[in-house]
Amino acid sequence: MMDETLPPSEQSAELDTLMLIIKSFLEHLEYTLGKDKYSATRHDIFNALAYAVRDRMVERWLDTQQAYYNQDPKRIYYLSMEFLMGRTLENSLVNLGLLDDFRDAMNSLGFDLDVLIDQEQDAGLGNGGLGRLAACFLDSMATMGIPGYGYGIRYEYGIFRQNIVDGAQVEYPDNWLRYRNPWELDRQEHLHPVKFYGRVVERKNAEGNTVFAWIDTEDVMAMAYDTPIPGFGTNSVNTMRLWTAKSSRDFDLTFFNEGNYIRAVEKKMLSENISKVLYPADHIPEGKELRFKQEYFLASATIQDVIYRFRKNHSDLRLIPDKVAIQLNDTHPSLAIPEMMRLLMDRERLDWDTAWDITTRTFAYTNHTILPEALEKWPVWFLEQILPRHLQIIYEINDRFLAQVRQHFPGDTGRLERMSLVEEHWERKIRMAHLAIVGSHSVNGVAALHTEILKEKVFTDFFEMWPERFNNKTNGITQRRWLKSANPGQAGLISRAIGDGWITDLDQLRKLADLAKDRDFIHAWQRVKQENKKRLADYIFRNNELQVNVDSLFDCQVKRIHEYKRQLLNVLHVITLYNRIKAAPAGDFVPRTVIFSGKAAPAYALAKLIIRLINAVGDVVNNDPDVGDRLKVVFLANYSVSLAEKIFPASDLSEQISTAGTEASGTGNMKFALNGALTIGTLDGANIEIMEEVGRENIFIFGMTAGEVDELRRRGYDPRDYYHRIPELKRVLDQIAEGFFSPATPDLFRPVVDALLNQGDNYMLLADYASYVACQEEVSRLYLDPDEWARRAILNCAGMGKFSSDRTIAEYARDIWGVEQMEVRPVLEFRKHDGPA
């Protein structure tokens, strides 16, 4: 709506902006898409709108990129196999400061911007925390004016779409590019060959030195697609560059020569498979050849690009560490280390020592998991066949590294074996984490506890050798997406109370602490939460045909389904509540709606069975007239960034209940607390730091500590002790095992109980059960006092300053990368097109 309180000159500028938006939209509809009012589909409307928004970003993007060349700052390259970006339209408009203008413009054309926003497909190029972290980091780097790049793969199919059919997960392909991706710009000129297979030959050069050539390779071309990443409230727009595989033109001359045209084309097509699909396993490497190729594809294309860009302004490659920082998001892109060595030596003709010095001063590695089964190891024979030159380089790195170890720890052969980059079991494997540590100058964990565990348990040998290399960078989230965009009600309330400085300085939320005592503020806070809960209840009704009580406690556990995250412990509690209601149907119970959402890796049978169990328990509980609306169990299908944006604002209780010492950080925990949910959690990952920030009295902590978990394991853990000792627990497990929730197939859920009682209960659910249930009773008691609940929720939000990804990025920039924020002009005017500069 036109703001009539503005002076006439500003009203006319607003009108100007509105007209420009409308013109831009209509031009894209007609000229870019070739549509008119008769032929435009809803996708065309969305795309024309998106192009109009992208134009605004491109203006700022070109300015920013030119500034990077002109000022030549150190740049940071964030390499990640996953970028879980979610939707782009709303976030871009928020960051550009153009949300209201575009809303008005679309409104005047008869379109509802919110409907268009909700129509966008998620870019789901990630599995969970690691990929979403990368996306939050891009937002922070752009907002803070840090010359940063995200480099990844443009998967044609992102994370699968999850449907629930008869209670079970069914996977469907995520064909996210079907209606085009209007945000990206294809860069046909940014093309790098990526080599595979072939063999290595040695020869002497003119100076008599041995040089290596990797020949007879099968080459695949990596082609760049750029997505502009706008910062909030600045002119700065960074780049996310994703690679797609294209067959090289001279790919299979042999087949052409033999006249086998179809075979030649087939091989071309096969090479393009590399960027076809994201592997959907989180915390469980699949060990597949195609995945290995994907990892190298990202590494090689990116390092070639980095060197190419560096060379535009510099000739002395020894300056790379002064101008380039590379962060490895887990070990997935760590083949970039031997690739950098290969390019510096074989292509650029540097000697080993110089190349190694450049490489180690440039690279840094972030570890994301301590689950032993999740640490990547690639069979040596993969490298022998697919990357023979890299295997040589890795062996050489290892020889030199082990010599250093021998010097540090003479006579300690056990240590040599433990630290070697090569695992010598029946199948020899390369330990990618060891490669990443040895090839980097920094190794960081993602929460304080996690970093301590890395130092003391997982990489102790390395820590003893290079203590200075290890550091912690507690994860964070961007408040622009996770509060300002996702929860406009709460964001508006906060801004009215303390101003909007928190959008770029989240520590300012501390000012809310004073308001936690203010009755009016508390009531306004409760109204916002209630509105958000109504919206989610509508969504649940539309999607699950289930009516939930909006006055009930919305108790949410949304994340990947994994044994260590213990959704099953939550289910044990739900069944306990159900049994209690059934035992005293007239009793007083605090009503709860327990909401689950999350995907299971398609090959992870037990995780999929847990999804079935949740739905089976829901079937019984939700349809039992004795229960009424005092307990409901909801499984929301297809957890994604855009669904998360609906759930967090509506949540009362955040379930962060992993076995202590297993979750590296978690970031959902931060998103919940920022949106005014209280946490029930273990002392695991970043939960500990959340507790420190919000106060022990404002969070529900239960269960064993990481130390107690270790101690119990050492003493010998017998889950059956708990089963026999706790009657409510025994009852619940017997019900699951005997088919109470699956009467038609009574044995269906027996494997779930077997895992707990007969296979050792690896994640110690039974040991934490009593403490969890008691803690949930405290939660229920507090919920009976809504003002006190809201007071604590406000204090939780007030304590979230630390968990902005802006803080995390500032620490990476200062401690690891040595990059600086660039002065960016805070201009947000709508540029009338003045042609290329």
**Cα-based angle 582, 587, 591 (whole degrees, multiple of 5):** 85
Half-sphere exposure in the Cβ direction for 256 (13 Å, CA): 7
Residue 730 is among the residues annotated as catalytic for this protein = no
Q: Active-site residue among 190, 560, 566, 630?
A: 560
Residue 770, both tokens: 């009593």
CB of 302 or CB of 367, closer to ligand IMP: 302
DSSP type of residue 646: H
Q: Which is it for the CA torsion 27, 33, 34, 40, positive or negative?
A: negative
CB of 26 or CB of 62, closer to ligand IMP: 62
Whether residue 251 contacts residue 268, with contact meaning beta carbons closer than 8 Å, is answered with yes
Residue 229, both tokens: 């990443």
CB of 59 or CB of 122, closer to ligand IMP: 59
Q: Active-site residue among 671, 791, 792, 802?
A: 671
Q: Which is it for the CA torsion 141, 147, 151, 156, positive or negative?
A: positive
Site for ligand IMP, residues 56 to 85, rule: CB under 6 A: 62, 65-66, 69
CB of 51 or CB of 196, closer to ligand IMP: 51
Give the shortest CB-823-to-ligand IMP separation in angstroms: 17
- Give the H/E segment covering residue 260: none
Give the shortest CB-312-to-ligand IMP separation in angstroms: 6
Residue 429 is among the residues annotated as catalytic for this protein = no
Q: Which of 56, 60, 87, 309 binds ligand IMP (CB under 6 A)?
A: 309
Give the shortest CB-309-to-ligand IMP separation in angstroms: 5
Residue 455 is among the residues annotated as catalytic for this protein = no
Q: Active-site residue among 234, 362, 593, 667?
A: 667
CB of 60 or CB of 562, closer to ligand IMP: 60
Site for ligand IMP, residues 488 to 527, rule: CB under 6 A: none
φ/ψ of residue 636, rounded to 5: -90, 120
Site for ligand IMP, residues 169 to 198, rule: CB under 6 A: none
Give the shortest CB-130-to-ligand IMP separation in angstroms: 25
Q: Which of 146, 336, 5 is nearest to 823 (CA)?
A: 146
φ/ψ of residue 27, rounded to 5: -65, -40
Give the shortest CB-191-to-ligand IMP separation in angstroms: 12
Give the shortest CB-238-to-ligand IMP separation in angstroms: 11
First to last CA, the chain: 34
Whether residue 665 contacts residue 446, with contact meaning beta carbons closer than 8 Å, is answered with yes
Residue 565 is among the residues annotated as catalytic for this protein = yes
> CA 654, CA 554: separation in Å to the nearest integer?
9
CB of 241 or CB of 390, closer to ligand IMP: 241
Q: Which stretches within 72-112 are classed as H helix?
A: 89-96, 99-108
Whether residue 383 contacts residue 394, with contact meaning beta carbons closer than 8 Å, is answered with yes
Size of the site for ligand IMP (CB under 6 A): 6
Q: Active-site residue among 195, 241, 309, 368?
A: 368
CB of 203 or CB of 312, closer to ligand IMP: 312
Residue 362, judged by CB atoms within 10 A of its CB (0-12, 13-18, 19+), counts as: buried
CB of 372 or CB of 836, closer to ligand IMP: 836
Paired strand residues for 241: 151, 226
CB of 61 or CB of 102, closer to ligand IMP: 61
Give the shortest CB-68-to-ligand IMP separation in angstroms: 7
Paired strand residues for 636: 597
Three-class SS state of 835: coil
Three-class SS state of 601: coil
Q: Which of 203, 312, 542, 696 binds ligand IMP (CB under 6 A)?
A: 312
Going by their DSSP bridges, the two strands 210-215 and 199-204 should be labelled as: antiparallel
CB of 35 or CB of 309, closer to ligand IMP: 309
> CA 673, CA 777: separation in Å to the nearest integer?
20
* String marking each residue 337-376 x if it binds ligand IMP according to CB under 6 A: ----------------------------------------
Annotate 721-738 with b (16+ C-beta within 10 A) or e (fewer).
ebbeebeebeebbebbbe
Give the shortest CB-187-to-ligand IMP separation in angstroms: 7
CB of 62 or CB of 270, closer to ligand IMP: 62
Cα–Cα distances in angstroms (integers) from residue 137 to residues 242, 380, 443, 793, in the given order: 16, 34, 18, 26
CB within 8 Å of 786: residues ≥ 6 apart: 526
Three-class SS state of 146: coil
Q: What is the DSSP string of 736-783?
A: HHHTTT-TTSTTTTHHHHHHHHTS--TT-HHHHHHHHHHHHHHHHHHH
Half-sphere exposure in the Cβ direction for 590 (13 Å, CA): 15
Q: Would you count residue 415 as binding ligand IMP (CB under 6 A)?
A: no
Give the shortest CB-241-to-ligand IMP separation in angstroms: 7
CB of 314 or CB of 361, closer to ligand IMP: 314
**Cα-based angle 319, 324, 326 (whole degrees, multiple of 5):** 135
> CA 785, CA 522: separation in Å to the nearest integer?
12
φ/ψ of residue 450, rounded to 5: -60, -45
Give the shortest CB-150-to-ligand IMP separation in angstroms: 13
Q: Active-site residue among 565, 566, 612, 802?
A: 565
Residue 476, both tokens: 């964070």
> CA 750, CA 747: separation in Å to the nearest integer?
5
Residue 457 is among the residues annotated as catalytic for this protein = no
Residue 531, both tokens: 């509105």
* String marking each residue 668-687 x if it binds ligand IMP according to CB under 6 A: --------------------
CB of 153 or CB of 766, closer to ligand IMP: 153
Three-class SS state of 592: strand
Give the shortest CB-806-to-ligand IMP separation in angstroms: 24
> CA 377, CA 305: separation in Å to the nearest integer?
26
Give the shortest CB-61-to-ligand IMP separation in angstroms: 8
Largest CA distance in the chain: 93
Residue 667 is among the residues annotated as catalytic for this protein = yes
Q: Which of 243, 53, 229, 63 is nearest to 148 (CA)?
A: 229
Give the shortest CB-66-to-ligand IMP separation in angstroms: 4
- Residue 545 Rama label (left phi>0; alpha psi -120 to 50; beta): left
| Residue numbers at the binding site for ligand IMP (CB under 6 A) | 62, 65-66, 69, 309, 312
Active site residues: 368, 559-560, 565, 667, 671
